[in-house]
Amino acid sequence: MHPIPRLAPLLFLWFTLLPFNVAAQPCTSPTFGGHTYDVVQIGDQCWYAENSRYLPQVNNNHSTNSPRYYVQGYTGTNLSDAMAHANYSTYGVMYNFAAVQTAVCPTGWNVPSADDWNELSTFLGDNAGQQLKADGNVWGGSAGPGLSGTDGFYALPHGRNLDGGGASGVGILGWFASSTVDSGNNQRSMQVRLKNDDVNILVNSQFKKNGVALRCVTAASAASVPGCIDNSACNYDAAANSDDGSCTYATTWYADADGDGLGDASDSQSSCTQPAGYVADNSDNCDDLAALNYALTPAEPCAYACDELDAPLTYTGIALSSAATGPAVADGAVNLTFSGGYGSMTVHFTSGTPHTIGTHSFTLAASLTAIPQGHWSTYVVDEAGCDGRCDGCGSSARVTLDVVVPHDRCD
């Protein structure tokens, strides 16, 4: 027979009873007494999903006022033997009320109060006790396979430990501790019972000296889920509730139109990742490829043909005359080497007054035998249209020529 028709009714019933309002976010498993506990979040609470195993000592007698610890089925007092007993790993430890008043839960976790248990029952609603139980076969089969333990609490029928009787109700009952004293009887505390044939949670008054299981609890908000909790951060983690210092934020990026690795402070955008054509630096004063000085570092503000510049030049190979009359300068050449390592250009001088460089002219003082080092006025070679580009000298001239261009001399 095909297996699907046989499983379909069971699956339908299982999903019908499943408490879909159980929160999906995981609680953080604490380690205490050398054991790391499975945990489950139910509503706004995080619970141990197994019985506490914390065992500082083991006892074979009972007390109302002194802490007592028991392992079901073990009647001695040797701690190692008690922890080696099969029921220690299966059912954990049974505690009297005085024991659960000691530090039996991890930091941030607590022995649940009667109110905590009632909150759990209210959240789960109908059949709350049945939802807390482990698989029905563990509880004698009365719950039916697959219809219990749907919230991950995984309660087992560990019974309880009674004065004069030892382990009692194993396989049928599951008794749990609370931190709440019976207000009408100081010898009793509120304890919680699950029963194999009862679908509810019972919270009622029992003797403090009884040994019962412990499930520590904490508020879900207190269960640390580390991560970035700032929703304005680039790496915000919606599941986190504890800031681990990992938040990263958007960076301001600056346009790098000329590709020199320096950005334009006037053209920026904020982004978690680096946009194409943008850099983190903002020291480029000229980021326009059409400008005469875009490649100089640090650059003056962008300057174009017919704009005035003031920048240093050095030179070599001067061939000038000191004559005060007649042709002031013989035909010759000056090899200009531009500062900052941006290349050089040979400029040819011709005789006559004023002397010319290409189609542009300027006047040299007749007394000069050399072009003074420092600032010097000249023109862009072959710049005929004041359009910021060299007409026929190539981009290298435009890139490297750093000049002062008087407005009234622009052609």
pLDDT, position 204: 95
Write down the pLDDT at residue 155.
95
Do 61 and 76 form a contact (C-beta atoms < 8 A)? no
Give the integer Cα–Cα distance in Å for 293 and 307: 11
Q: 191-215 burial, b if ≥16 CB within 10 A, otherwise e?
A: bbbbbbeebebebebbbbbbbbbbb
Q: Per-residue pLDDT for the chain (411 aa), expressed as one digit of tens each?
A: 333 333 333 333 333 333 434 443 458 889 999 999 999 999 989 999 999 999 999 999 999 999 999 999 999 999 999 999 999 999 999 999 999 999 999 988 999 999 999 999 999 998 899 899 987 678 875 543 333 445 589 999 999 999 877 899 999 999 999 999 999 999 999 999 999 889 999 999 999 999 999 999 998 766 677 889 888 899 998 887 778 899 999 999 999 887 778 888 889 999 999 999 999 988 877 666 655 455 544 445 555 443 333 333 333 322 222 222 222 223 333 333 333 333 333 343 333 333 333 323 333 332 223 333 222 333 333 334 434 333 333 332 222 233 332 222 233
The alpha carbons of the chain give a radius of gyration, in whole angstroms, of 44
The pLDDT assigned to 287 comes to: 66
- Rounded-to-integer distance, Cα 167 and Cα 292, Å: 95
Q: Which amino acid is at 377?
A: S
**Cα dihedral: 159, 165, 166, 170 (round 10):** -20
What confidence score (pLDDT) does residue 316 get? 32
Structure confidence at residue 148 (pLDDT): 44
- What pLDDT score was predicted for residue 311? 33
The structure's pTM equals: 0.51
Map 18-67 to HEC letters: CCCCCCCCCCCCCEECCEECCEEEECCEEEECCCCCCCCCCCCCCCCCCC
Q: Tell me the CA end-to-end span of the chain in Å, nearest whole number.
A: 99
